[in-house]
Amino acid sequence: MPKKRPSELTDLSVIGVDIGKDTFHLIGFNPSGERVLRLKIKRLALPQVFEDLPRCVVGMEACLSAHFVSRTLRRMGFEPRTVPAIYVKPFNKGQKNDYNDAEAIAEAALRPDLKTVAEKSQDQLDLQALHRVRSRLVSWRTATINQIRAFLIEQGIAVRSGLRALKTSFLTILDEREGEISPRMQTILMGLYEDWLWLDERIETVSKKISEIAVGEPNCRNIMSIPGIGPMISTAMVAAIGIGNGFDRGRDFAAWVGLVPRQYSTGGRTVLGRISKRGSRYLRMLFVQAAKVIMMRPHRWPDFSFGQWLANAAERMHRNKLGVALANKLARMPWSVLRHETRFDERGDAAIAI
């Protein structure tokens, strides 16, 4: 069969796109499952090439720039479907290369019961970027503090654990141990301390921007009506799932966050283990932190609608297991608030929110 140009194709049903940094690899199938398109294009040529193709389903793997490509194709009249990489892998045949990846993506995109990634708007990507910048700055700050502690312990100076303890005693230590610490090491430590202060300022600036967005966004305000949940979780959740329409129920969202037991069942025997830890690690960390904050204040539990459940669970569960169970509940409630566009029916003031 002679090779057809994109403009000559009229019977495409699905196109699989393997997204690369500079080049895209395309594989297209007609309704009968026959491959009729095999093409390599430059990123900048994407609109021009797809303008000549018949409108159909376009599958792509969830990766960098996938949401941008999805929005571009949707404006052109295509039906983009972004598939998680873990669901594409079973369809990959033969050795791994770009064309085989594109073919596997095309086959996965046609599965009617396969969960796809919800398309993110530009506002969601901007908000997600703020969280990623803040997370990176916090990790840098932690690394800087650990390095200061390591250099001090090498000089025989041990500081009790905690960020506040080191920050309040650092300058005093340098003054009192001036004769024990060499001038060069003092210069190094002061440089690290200045880096620490600069990182604190940057983190505070980014945190203020996130808080301002949370106050101005109705969905975030609704989520923050849940005890223990503040600007960080509310904005991170909106950035990740929008209004939550990518999940059928709160349990599905909790499973996506990775707060459900890992299941290994066979022969009618159900075996449940530790939590799966799949999905968003960042959101999972935030929900667990919020749960631990609530658990630290048992005198506030009667103020919450789930306080009786928490008190009963605390009597029979280990503290760590209780924290994960509460984090699971805290994940389900915001999803319900998002989907129904309503505030949480709380009976008292919220706990310290994250």
CATH number reported for the structural domain that contains residue 95 in this entry: 3.30.420.40
Pairing between β-strand 79-83 and β-strand 57-61 as defined by DSSP bridges: parallel
pLDDT in tens, 249-270: 889 999 999 998 888 888 888 8
Residue 4 in any domain: the answer is no
DSSP state of 156: T
Beta bridge partners of 28: 15, 37
- With a CB cutoff of 8 Å and minimum separation 6, the contacts of 31 are 11, 13
Please tell me whether residues 235 and 195 are part of one structural domain. no
The yes-or-no verdict on residue 134 having pLDDT over 80 is: yes
What is the token pair recorded at 197? 């202060």
Q: Among residues 213, 240, 267, which one ends one of the domains?
A: 213
For residues 18 and 105, membership in a common domain is answered with yes
How many domains, in total, are found in the chain?
3
Asked if 298 and 191 sit in the same domain, the reply is no
Short-list 273, 237, 270, 234, CA closest to 253: 237
Look at residue 143 in the predicted model and tell me its pLDDT.
96
Give the model's pLDDT for residue 1. 45
21 and 90 belong to one structural domain: yes
Kindly state whether residues 196 and 104 are assigned to the same domain. Answer: no
pLDDT band at 5 (very low <50, low <70, confident <90, very high): low
Q: Do residues 333 and 250 touch, judged by C-beta distance below 8 A?
A: yes
182, 232: one domain: no
Q: Which amino acid is at 108?
A: A
Q: Within 13 A of 81's CA, how many CA atoms are on the CB side?
A: 23
Last residue in a domain, options 197, 213, 229: 213
- According to DSSP, residue 94 is labeled S
Measured between alpha carbons, how far is 268 from 266 in angstroms, rounded to an integer? Answer: 5
Please list, in sequence order, all residues whose beta carbon lies within 8 angstroms of the beta carbon of residue 221, skipping any fewer than 6 positions away. 214, 215, 234, 343
| Residue 348 in domain | no
Q: Are residues 87 and 41 in the same domain?
A: yes
Note down the domain range covering 200. Answer: 123-213
Please tell me whether residue 57 adopts helix, strand or coil conformation.
strand
**For the chain, percent of residues with pLDDT exceeding 70:** 95
Residue at 225 is within a domain = yes
pLDDT, tens digit (0-9, with 9 covering 90-100), for 56-72? 999 999 988 899 999 99
Last residue of one domain, picked from the residues 196, 213, 230: 213
